[in-house]
């Protein structure tokens, strides 16, 4: 009897404790200036549903997006996501930057009113590495367009966005 209770306690502790892990995706970008990388990264986040910026510091190259909630009608079905962005110079090459993205996730564990975000009981969950990989892939495609014949048009488009 005591062994089965102890085993259940260990299982419960393993399931509840320390389940959230922080996972960043990084990519090195070369041949593009820092401001262009910064603006393109924010645009990729916006295009993929992370519309609202909570904290942004272009000089430090760090941004935190607001929570994007997807509430569900059943227990443990609602979740919310928040994107983090880092752009920093690469230490080995002054013409290169390291871009990092992370998608933090939380799951609603409330048993009632799961469609009311104020009543939700948010528990940490593992970061969404697949979404971070997708965002980085889209960023690489956008930045690839800056090379070759499309480079000047791409830069003009982003320069106009910064002015507005």
pLDDT digit string (tens) for 8-66?
333 343 344 445 678 999 998 887 888 889 999 999 999 999 888 999 998 999 999 99
Q: Is 85 helix (H, G, I), strand (E, B) or coil?
A: strand
CATH fold of the domain at 24-152: TATA-Binding Protein (3.30.310)
- Interatomic CA distance for residues 47 and 41, integer angstroms: 10
Structural domain boundaries of the chain?
Answer: 24-152
Task: Quickly count helices (H) and strands (E) in the chain.
Answer: 4, 7
**123-162: pLDDT as tens digits:** 899 999 999 999 999 998 888 876 544 456 556 665 555 5
**More reliable by pLDDT, 70 or 87:** 87
Per-position DSSP letters for 29-49, written without gaps between them: EESS-HHHHHHHHHHHHHHTT
What pLDDT is stored for residue 161 in this prediction? 54
Is the distance from CB of 143 to CB of 32 less than 8 angstroms? yes
Report the alpha-carbon distance of residue 159 to residue 153 in Å, rounded.
Answer: 10
């Amino acid at each position: 009897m005591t062994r089965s209770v102890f085993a259940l306690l260990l299982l419960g502790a393993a399931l509840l404790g320390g389940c959230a892990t922080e996972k960043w995706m990084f990519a090195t970008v070369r041949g593009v200036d820092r401001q262009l990388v910064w603006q393109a990264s924010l645009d990729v986040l916006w295009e993929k549903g992370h519309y609202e910026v909570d904290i942004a510091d272009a000089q430090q190259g760090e941004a935190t997006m607001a929570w994007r909630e997807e509430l569900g009608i059943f227990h443990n079905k609602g979740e919310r996501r928040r994107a983090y962005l880092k752009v920093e110079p690469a230490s080995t090459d002054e013409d290169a930057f390291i871009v990092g993205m992370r998608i933090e996730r939380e799951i609603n564990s409330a048993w009632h009113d799961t469609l009311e975000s104020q009543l939700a009981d948010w528990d940490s969950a593992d970061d969404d590495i697949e979404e971070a990989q997708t965002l980085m892939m889209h960023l690489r495609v956008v930045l690839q367009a800056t090379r070759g014949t499309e480079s000047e048009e791409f830069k003009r488009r982003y320069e106009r966005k910064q002015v507005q």
